[in-house]
Structures are given as structure tokens and as C-alpha cells.
Amino acid sequence: MRIDQSDSTTTDTSLPVDDASDTAAVEPDADVCVLGLGHVGLPTALLAAQEHTVVGVDIDQSRVDAIERGDLPMDEPDIDQLYERVAADFSAQTTVADADVYVIVTPTPVDAERAVADVSYVEAAAEMIAPTLSPGDLVVLESTVPPGTTERLVAPTLETSGLSRSEFRLAFSPERASPGETLTEMVENSRVVGGIDEESVDAACAFYDSFVTGAVRRTVPRVAEFVKLVENTFRDVNIALANEFALVAEELGLDVHEAIDLANEHPRVGIHHPGPGVGGHCIPVDPNFLSQHTTRDRLVSLARDVNDSMPAHVVQGVEDLLDGDTDATVTLLGAAYKGGVGDTRRTPTRTLVDLLAGLGVDVRLHDPHVDSFPVDPEPLAEAVAGSDCLVLVTDHSEYTALDPSELGEVMATKNLYDTRGLLDTPSWEAAGFEVAVLGDGRTQE
């Protein structure tokens, strides 16, 4: 269902934006139902189970079965130990359970044809809750959505229960967590809670206070929805700026990494480093939700274009190293979208695989954190043997320990393209490699 932005419903912006205080208590043994057991929903459910009785709901029976036997479908520090601690108060199933608190953490992908948010999963979750909704129950939407979704889609869907929105509590509160640090950040980072009325804000703040140590800020739903999109769009634009600096530095024969490090010593400058593209569930997606209902998004849309263009720029750099030899073998080092994790959601490596394969190149892959991918990851020795070019894609710390002399002995041709500026270029050159670094024009002259 597409949200009708022409709806005449207005948002009450009179609620104070402040720390939560004097909120109505949520009982420690409250019944909580979390809908969506993905990268955010499952950790949320387990953290809440420290203080409440929690039922996690997912429509994927295989996922539910795996979670029930303790085989958690995500690689996150300390999550297995947390599961063991709360197992007595947590269960997973495919149907919604009667609860005091419902938390919606379903996916919100981009509809590829219309380039707008697909909120059908959110709507389906609200439809599942409606038959069990009772007066005074709290529903919290955590899924990232366009501003207005909580009030214009979720609220009326819940009202199909026969209750008016004044009879239940409804709020929006986005997570702030990064893969590899999810549990720590979910607990320690501040939260923004936007409720449709004071009672909703009070109830939602009290719920998060039960397992969040960071500040819990109070506002209205549209502001909270907007905040989430602003946060991730800021990062996308910052990365795009760094990527554009990299392209300019290559033309000028300068090292953008050195320049950025020096610029960031300025107390009011904080530039990200460039890379082969932007991955993950949030940053490549959320700016689209911000721009889909406005004509004033020129910088936001341009940043998306810049970041989406980086894999093609990398492939051009690889072609230059190979002197146009499309019969070559190229080894990609890294499938995950960021270092230290096995998360491959929207990773630029997928695009690199497709672009290189489209040239006729034989593509191999290695990643110490990833077991499965469209191109099967191989042990390092097998992935490198006979290769004509290594492409460092993911900034895994393990790659800083690579021995260029040892790898060079088994390669057909010694070429290296470093998309992260992670490796020590002089040591690779000393081992006989021709090296190109994204953003370092000195290595490409």
C-alpha cells in the first residue's frame, strides 16, 4: 500500500523533545511480541527478554525453527550468550501472540519499479496485530519508513481491530546499531521515540528504559521517522563527497587518503574515506525514502548516483591494470559490505562480480567472514592461485596481514587494486606488484 501524502491528517508537533522522565511504568514481566526476526528484530527481542516475556514472530518457518534450536541466523558478538541467558523467557513462532507490547521490525525495501518504499511488510505486520490488540496495548514501529507512515498507514490498520487510536498506544522508534556492534549500540545509544500522543510516548519510553541505558528522547512520529532518514542520508552524502574527492585526486595525481586525514585534523571537519560503493541495509536505501515525496532532494539524489557509480569506476581501474585482457582471472578480496562482519546486504561486491563477469573475466572470491555468496568463496590459496589481479574490496583487518611475496609466487600476474587504501603500497610494490589505489592518483600515473 502506498502512503497517500495528500491525506489531510496533520501531525501534532506540540510534544516536547526531551529526555524521558516520569513515564508510566511497563511491568518487568510484560508480554512482548516482536514481529520480524532479522538483523534488528532478533537482537531487540533478546534484549527485551532480559526484563519481559518475549515471543518473536517471523513468517519464515525455517528461520523460526533455527532460532528455536539456538542456531541463530546472524553472526553478532555475544548474541549466542544472550540467547542462552534469556532462553526461558523467549520463544519464536510464525503467528502473533497476545501481548502488552508489540514491536514491528519488518523489512522496508525499495520498490525497484517505482523507486519508493515498499511498506507492505509493515502493513502486513499491523494487520497481524489488529485481531489481538486490546485497549491500552502499545505498538512500536521500528522499521525505517517514509515520514507519515506511523500515522497514515499503521494507525488506521490497527483501527481495523475496532479500537480507535485513542484506545491503544502507538509510537515510532528507529534503532541505531551497526553490524558487529549491534547489542552494545542497541543498549548504549540514545533512542528517539515519537508517539501519537503523550500516553504513547510515555509507554514507549518506559519500554525502552527497561533495556536501554542511553538517553530516550521524546518527540512526535514524523520527526522520529525523519530523524532516521536524516542520519543515514548524512552518511551517504558524506561518503559520496569522499568518493568525489577520490576521483578528483586521481586526476590531480594526489593521494586523497593523506589529504582527508590532514583535513580531518580541523576541529570542524569529519570526512569519511572513499571506497568501492555503499552497502548494508540502511545507507543505500534510506535516502530514497527521504526523497520519494519531494522535488527538493538534488544533493541527496546526486549522492546516491555518485556512490552507485563507484563499482564501475573500480572495474575501469582493474581493466587498466590488466591492459584490457578480458581472459584474465580476477580475485576479489571481500564480499561483506564492511570490515569485520559477514553481512553482505547490498554489498558493492555483488555489482563488481556482475560487471567483471560481463567483461568475460573469470571472477574468484575470498572472504574470511562469509560462507556463501553468488560466487562461492574459496580459501585464500585457491582464490589467488593463477590470478592476474587482486582487488581489495572489503576492509577486513585480516587483509592487512597478507604477505605480498607469498601471494605473488602463486599468481599468474602481479596486479593489485586497493579500493580502500588499506594495504601498504610500498611493500606490495617491493614484491613486484603493480599497484593502483582508489583515490591515490600517484599510483595511477
- Sorted by where each begins, the domain ranges of the chain are 31-219, 301-444
Reading the block at residue 205, the C-alpha cell is: 519510553
- Please give the model's pTM, rounded to 2 decimal places: 0.89
Residue among 205, 282, 389, 414 flagged as catalytic: 282
Q: Using the predicted structure, report yes or no on whether residue 19 has a pLDDT greater than 60.
A: no
Q: Examine the residue annotation and report whether 228 is marked as an active-site residue of this protein.
A: yes
Q: Using the predicted structure, report yes or no on whether residue 433 has a pLDDT greater than 50.
A: yes
pLDDT given at position 10: 34
Residue 297: CB atoms within 10 A of its CB come to: 17
Taking the C-alpha atoms of residue 98 and residue 100, their distance in angstroms, rounded to an integer, is: 7
| Lowest mean pLDDT segment, chosen from 176-180, 263-267, 358-362, 403-407 | 176-180
pLDDT given at position 244: 98
Residue among 33, 228, 338, 389 flagged as catalytic: 228
- Phi first, then psi: give them for residue 316, nearest 5 degrees: -60, -40
pLDDT digits (tens, 9 = 90+) for 21-51: 444 446 667 899 999 999 999 999 999 999 9
pLDDT given at position 114: 73
Q: What is the mean pLDDT of the chain?
A: 93
pLDDT greater at residue 22 or residue 246: 246
CATH number listed for the domain at residues 301-444: 3.40.50.720
Taking the C-alpha atoms of residue 125 and residue 104, their distance in angstroms, rounded to an integer, is: 7
Taking the C-alpha atoms of residue 299 and residue 338, their distance in angstroms, rounded to an integer, is: 24
Q: Using the predicted structure, report yes or no on whether residue 20 has a pLDDT greater than 90.
A: no
Reading the block at residue 86, the C-alpha cell is: 534469556
Q: Examine the residue annotation and report whether 414 is marked as an active-site residue of this protein.
A: no
Strand order in the sheet with 389-392: 362-366, 329-333, 389-392, 415-418, 434-437
pLDDT given at position 15: 52
Which of these, 163, 188, 160, 162, lies nearest to 176 by C-alpha position? 188
Domain 31-219 top-level CATH class: alpha beta
Taking the C-alpha atoms of residue 414 and residue 430, their distance in angstroms, rounded to an integer, is: 11
Taking the C-alpha atoms of residue 410 and residue 390, their distance in angstroms, rounded to an integer, is: 12
Spatial contact of 13 and 35, defined as CB atoms under 8 Å apart = no
